[in-house]
A and B are shown apart, each in its own frame.
Chain A
Amino acid sequence: MTDDVKTAPAFAKAGALRDFATWWGPRPLGQVAVLIAVVLLFYGFASNTLASMARIGISPGFGFLDRAANFEIGESPIAFSAGDTYARAIFAGLLNTFKVAILGCVLATVLGVALGVARLSGNLLLAGLVRGYVEIVRNTPLLLQLFLWIALAHALPGPRQALVLFDTVFLTNRGVFVPRLVVEGMPVWGWLAALVVLAVGIVHLWRGRRRAPGMRRTILLSGAAMLIGLAVIVLASGAQFAIDAPALSGFNIRGGASLTPEFAALLAGLTVKFSAAISEVVRAGILSVRAGQWEAGRALGLRDGQIMWRVVLPQALRVITPLTTSNYLDLIKDSSLAVAIGYPDLVSIVNTTANTTGQAFEALLILILVYLAINLGVSALMNLYNRRVALRGEAAT
């Protein structure tokens, strides 16, 4: 029996156990010793931490979440005022992180794709300019760029001398004001019906594009059907649309949606920094498609635009998707720099919580777990999408 020890532990008779022993691999006891050492190390840290907390009179636990938080939050998607619970404050911070991260991902992607295409446009001047932009943005710290953006946001003129873009966007030192769409009088069933029509329409368009590329009429028809459906719902529900544009009234600007200077600076900084990264990814992706693909497309009589959309881009996406995923994850993580310019994101509020309650350990644990969950969620979603665009047979990875 002792001879068996070399290949697998003697107890490994049952199937599952043997599988585990194989997976666990050689030197099973040594590995257990390493694991125990790690556990002991963390046990040591934890007991020290507990002792220190006891010494300064803080009882460990998450009870503080229900206590009243005596600070205000600069801005929050949900109502928050001093006296609400810490749990609500942290949730507001999480929503703020989501807000800036999602908008940042969308804007950085739009700008990044535009820059990547501009870089490949073949126009020497434009490509050179984009290259300069990318190099400058990539080789300076994001925090420094954020400091510049917040300095710029605070240096903007007051509301009465606001910089006005296209008569609708007001840039002031009190924030950025943009127009927004207001829907009035839409009943709940109207929203639901519109959502269903939109979902069905988009799925149908997507399927149609996949099944019969080039069948433009089908696509046009289903697109038109979707729009007509939406129009019917709006007419039947009696909803009214209005564009609420900001305008100067008295000493301030009324109407529209306002972005605080901190939010605007953070959004601008994240967008610019990650648009540079995404433009490089887009460029690399398109260049990764071999020249033969273009030649083959032309031999079939396709136009350049068609080759780009139907042949090159679908293949380029296989390179682009995983790299963009890591850019999105970096963007979400880097939105934590908000704490340095005063935007109340998750990190900023957790930090305030840790400082006001003394429950640093619990607060940071929440922070770390939330970021890990976000990371896993985004990775899972993007993997799902990646599987769609991957080559058949390569999808398993």
Chain B
Amino acid sequence: MTALDLDPPRLPAAGTWTAFRLGLFGSWRNGVVTLATVAGLVWIVPPLLRWLVIDATWSGTAAQCRAHDGACWAFIAAKLRFILLAFYPAELQWRPVLACLLMLGLLAATAMPRFWRRELAIAWPGVIALCWVLMAGLPGLLEPVASNQWGGLPVTLIIWAACFASALPLAVLLALARRSDMGGLRLLSIGYIELMRGIPMVAVLYVAMLILPLALPAGQSMDKILRAMIMIALFWAAYLAEVVRGGLQAVPDGQREAAATLGLGYWRIMQLIVLPQALRVVIPGLVNQAIGFLLATSLLAVIGIFDLLNAAKASAADPAWLGFYDEAYLFVAAIYFIFGYGGSRYSLWLERRLSRERRN
């Protein structure tokens, strides 16, 4: 939410506060801070570098890794397939790989404002369904793979995208209800949003694990990943609803009144006038929320779904490569970081671009 700027921090004051212009030694106090910081770095960085790079084992076996003190990057090379795809059958691995590429392509296309057309809204469910089929298989065409064999990056990406995409329409409805004149619907929407925002995601996942199977009609059962996805989508909808509500508040009342004067009904006004303006304002907010959601998908590990983080954890439990947890975690941390940092830079770029468009 809070924007990070590229410029150095700016404090409008004299004395030590403006010393940043002179970089590191603008005043004696600043110099002391710099020296203390350098001393801290000298204390921390060399051992870290030694572990990460200098003493690290880049290729070889677990035994060779154990002979050295440093990180074991050979472990990542050996277990890369497992971390990214987990228990998916190796002979069918082109399917999750293709699913990942499709998802990344969809995200890349969505990131470019020139693709923001009606087709994109159709492409989202289409691509997600295609990825699902690729993972699950199609009787007679693609060999079926049970969802307890899914894992790694495709699971993280598909659950994230599918839950976000299905939470968004629900969020719009919730936000509209929260701002409507109808007291009953308002009450319902506020109750739902505050309930969901008041409980931790872990509790929601436990509901998916423990309650949802009981709540289904007798004899019915539902896949674990699907159950988790339904609850996550319901959970995220409450958060997205608050973002959307911010956008609705930013649209001046005059817009709606003018449209009403032209004789448009409620849904036409919302669809043609209010929502396009409101959603445009909150796109950067939605992107930030989406980054938070991606990081939150790691909680799937708590209920035993092999998402990226859980796959990394399991990879270090392999008897042949037992205990290289630090390397596994750092590797997936880098993947999450690329998505998260890239996403937040993108959100800033988008915010500037959109506000420029508004001004013109």
Contact = CB atoms under 8 A, between A and B. Distances in A.
A38 B188 contact: yes
A114 to B, nearest CB: 13
Interface stretch (B31-39, B46-54, B255-263): B31-39
Interface stretch (A82-90, A264-272, A334-342): A334-342
B277 interface: no
A124 B9 CA distance: 9
Contacts of B108: none
Contact of B336 (A139, A340, A364): A139
A148 interface: yes
Interface stretch (A5-13, A27-35, A161-169, A192-200): A27-35
A291 B11 CA distance: 8
A94 to B, nearest CB: 14
A237 B183 CA distance: 61
A143 interface: yes
B181 A26 contact: yes
B66 to A, nearest CB: 14
Contact of B299 (A122, A280, A337): A337
B211 A364 contact: yes
A281 interface: yes
Contacts of A123: 19-20, 24, 30, 33-34, 37
Contact of A125 (B15, B37, B326, B332): B37
Contacts of B184: 24-25, 28, 31-32, 34-35
Contacts of A148: 325-326, 329, 333
Interface string A68-99: 00000000000000000000000000000000
A18 interface: no
B302 to A, nearest CB: 5
B20 A340 contact: no
Of listed B9, B183, B195, residue having the most chain A CB within 10 A: B9
B9 A119 contact: yes
Contact of B181 (A25, A334, A351): A25
A247 interface: no
Range, interface on chain A: 35 or more
Contacts of B291: 139
A142 B295 contact: yes
Given A139-B344, A298-B13, A151 B183 contact: no
B11 A45 contact: no
Task: Enumerate the 6 nearest inter-chain pairs by beta-carbon distance, A residue then B residue, closest first.
Answer: A139-B340, A291-B12, A31-B184, A122-B20, A360-B210, A141-B298
Contacts of B216: 48, 52
Given A52-B218, A304-B14, A147 B329 contact: yes
A122 B325 contact: no
Nearest to A359: B210
Nearest to B343: A139
B183 to A, nearest CB: 4
A144 B312 CA distance: 10
Interface stretch (A126-134, A176-184, A209-217, A228-236): A126-134
Interface stretch (B114-122, B132-140, B201-209, B350-358): B201-209
A202 B309 CA distance: 48
Contacts of B302: 143, 337, 339-340
Interface residues of B, number: 69
B214 interface: yes
Interface string A272-309: 00000000110110110001001100100000100100
B191 to A, nearest CB: 10
B94 interface: no
B198 A375 contact: yes
Contacts of A35: 184, 188
Interface in A352-377: 354, 360-361, 364, 367-368, 371-372, 375-376
Contacts of B199: 333, 367-368, 371-372
A390 interface: no
A136 interface: yes
B309 A147 contact: yes
A387 interface: no
Contacts of B180: 25
Given A122-B30, A141-B336, A372-B198, A51 B218 contact: yes
A102 interface: no
Interface string A315-336: 0000000000000000001101
A144 B337 CA distance: 11
B37 A122 contact: no
Contact of B37 (A28, A126, A298, A376): A126
Contact of A49 (B185, B215, B326, B332): B215
Interface in B193-248: 195, 197-203, 206-207, 210-211, 213-218
Contacts of A138: 340, 344
A186 B185 CA distance: 58
Contact of A336 (B12, B198, B202, B213): B202
